[in-house]
Structures are given as structure tokens and as C-alpha cells.
Amino acid sequence: MSFEEFKETLIKEEKLCGFRGFLRRAWASWFYQMKIYVSYRMNLALDIIDIVLSALIYYYVSFLVSPDDLVKLGYTPDYIAFALSGIALSRYLWTTMARLAHKMRHEISAGTFESLASVDSDNFKSWILGQIFYGATWSSSTFILTILVGYLLGAKFTRSSLIWIQAISIVLLVVAIHAAIGIMAAGMYIIHKQLETLLVLMISVMEFFGGVIYPLALLWNYPILYYIALLMPFTHGLELFRRTLIDEKPITDPEMLVHLGALCAFIPLIYVGLKIYDYYLMKAKRLGLLSSY
């Protein structure tokens, strides 16, 4: 059997498997990436050290922050809980937005992306889904460790299981929306290359305007900056997450509903991101750019 015949047979078999085959390929993409990650124990240990040190830094910074000032701005007086909740959620930004483009760069520069293309049967969507799941797995582990370290340092996070279910639902919505931006960036990277600097800048802007380590209310004195912050989905996701995790506000609270409505307005990005990705992938296939770097 020639290679072309083998390829056609493989693609035909995968298509016959339908959705089950799609999930199997996505799982394989997730599994091999996780296996690579846990194989580098030094890197894993350094990630854990980084999380603990970051928590300790904001723990000591909390001694310099006036609880009364936080209360006046409408937030909890517990700055360590305030800061670590922002840090925990912001960990998802890199893995959902920039990591796909980073992985795409690695595959293309190493010459392995063309090999993936030779047996592709769904325009890499199962591969991308697996990579998103891997990013979410990595971010979730750092998220959990950050929250646990926060508890040990005395952060007053909620202990209600129902409130935690609401918080996790908010995290999943934030991840889905920002993963759409990551898929869009991955597609653009196939043609334009070298987008990582732009994505890192975008993530830094989101973290700054989103109020990861300072109350969003501080921007009230700078109306232009405040409204720029409101145009970003991460801002609304973080406000929802903080109010849930620290203040235990139900999603039916009027303030929560405003932020939830603003966050849901970005859901169409998922459809737009997939369409842009398909456009750039098809263009790269027509021009023969899948293996060029």
C-alpha cells in the first residue's frame, strides 16, 4: 500500500468514527502533551516554587495595603485574598490565549506540523482541543495550588461548596472565551508568524486593566482607562470570580448580573475565532505554508 492510499484509508476510518474518533484524537493530543510536561520534573518543581513565592510576595505586600482603603473602594479588606484570586484566574490567560500560538510556532519550526497535516482529518480541531485541555489542566493545577497556599496564609476564601460551583462555572466561561482568542491567534500565526510578542503584550494589558493586583475602582479617576477596562472580557470575569469567591455574592445579585451579561456578550468570539482559524489554515494549505517558518 502506498503512502497516499494509507493516508486516505486512515482519514476514512477516522471519519467513520465520527465524534468518538474526534474525542479520541483530542485525548491523544492532551495525553502526549501532559506526558512531556510531567517528564521534566525540575520544570514541574520550579513551577510549584514560582506559585508559592508569588503567594508569599503578595502576602507581605498585604501588610502595606490599608484594609480601610479597600473597603472604601467596595472590596474585601483581605488583600491577600483579593490579590491571589486575581493571580489564580490570570494564570488561565497565557494557556488560553498565547500558548496555542506558541505551540504552533514550535510545531512549525521543528517541522512536525507538516507531519500532523499529513494525517489530519478535521482541520486540526481535535489537536487544538487537546492542547486547550492541556492548558486548562496545567492552569487548573496552578489555580488550585494558589488557592490552597492562600488558605494556608490566612486568605478568607469561601468554604461553601455551592459558591465554589458558581466560581468554577465562571472560570469555565472565562476560559472558553479566551480560548477563542487563542484559536484565532493560532490560525493567524500559520501565515503571519511571530505573534507571541503581541499576545504577551495583550495579556499584560488585560491583567493591568483587569485589576489583577489592584481594585478596578481605582480607575474611576481616569474615565478613559476605566472604560477601556470594561471593554475586556477578563475584567468582567475577574469581578464575577472575586465577588463569588470572597464576598459570596450569588449570580442573581444585580451587580453580578451586569458583569455576567457583559461577559456573555463575548461568547460569539468562539464562533468568530473558529472561522478565522479555518480561513488562515485553508489559505496556508493553498499556498503550501504549513511547513515554512
In order, the DSSP letters of 107-134 are: HHHHT-HHHHHHT-SSTTHHHHHHHHHH
Decide if 1 is inside a domain.
no
Residue 286 confidence (pLDDT): 78
Cβ neighbors of 50 (< 8 A, separation 6 or more) are none
Residue 43 confidence (pLDDT): 78
Q: What's the domain count of the chain? A: 1
Rounded to an integer, the average pLDDT of 155-161 is 89
Measure the CA–CA gap between 30 and 194, rounded to whole angstroms: 24
Question: One-letter amino acid identity for 183?
Answer: I
Q: Which of 100, 84, 216, 88 is nearest to 144 (CA)?
A: 88
Measure the CA–CA gap between 38 and 198, rounded to whole angstroms: 29
Residue 235 confidence (pLDDT): 93
**The dihedral of CA 271, 169, 206, 72: what is its sign?**
positive
Per residue in 275-288, is it b (16+ CB within 10 Å) or e — as a string?
A: ebbeebbeebeeee
Alpha-carbon Rg for the chain, nearest whole angstrom, is 21
Decide if 5 is inside a domain.
no
Measure the CA–CA gap between 263 and 232, rounded to whole angstroms: 9
The conformation of residue 64, written as its DSSP 8-state character, comes to G
The conformation of residue 218, written as its DSSP 8-state character, comes to G
Rounded to an integer, the average pLDDT of 114-127 is 69
Measure the CA–CA gap between 228 and 243, rounded to whole angstroms: 21
Q: What percent of the chain has pLDDT over 90?
A: 19
Decide if 180 is inside a domain.
yes
Rounded to an integer, the average pLDDT of 7-21 is 61
Decide if 101 is inside a domain.
yes
Residue 137 confidence (pLDDT): 86
| Grid cell listed for 230 | 470594561
pLDDT at 10 over 60: no
Decide if 3 is inside a domain.
no
Measure the CA–CA gap between 277 and 182, rounded to whole angstroms: 10
Measure the CA–CA gap between 116 and 133, rounded to whole angstroms: 18
Measure the CA–CA gap between 272 and 124, rounded to whole angstroms: 17
Count other Cβ atoms within 10 Å, centred on residue 173. Answer: 20
Measure the CA–CA gap between 37 and 133, rounded to whole angstroms: 13
Residue 265 confidence (pLDDT): 95
**Between the CA atoms of 243, 212, 235 and 189, what dihedral angle is there, to the nearest 10 degrees?**
-140
Domain span including residue 225? 16-287
Decide if 2 is inside a domain.
no
**Between the CA atoms of 197, 200, 202 and 207, what dihedral angle is there, to the nearest 10 degrees?**
-160
Decide if 34 is inside a domain.
yes
User: pLDDT tens digits for 36-87?
Assistant: 777 878 877 888 888 888 888 888 888 888 888 888 888 888 899 999 998 8
Decide if 254 is inside a domain.
yes
Rounded to an integer, the average pLDDT of 229-233 is 91
Taking CA 238 as the corner, what is the angle to CA 54 and CA 77, rounded to the nearest 5 degrees?
65
Measure the CA–CA gap between 167 and 284, rounded to whole angstroms: 40
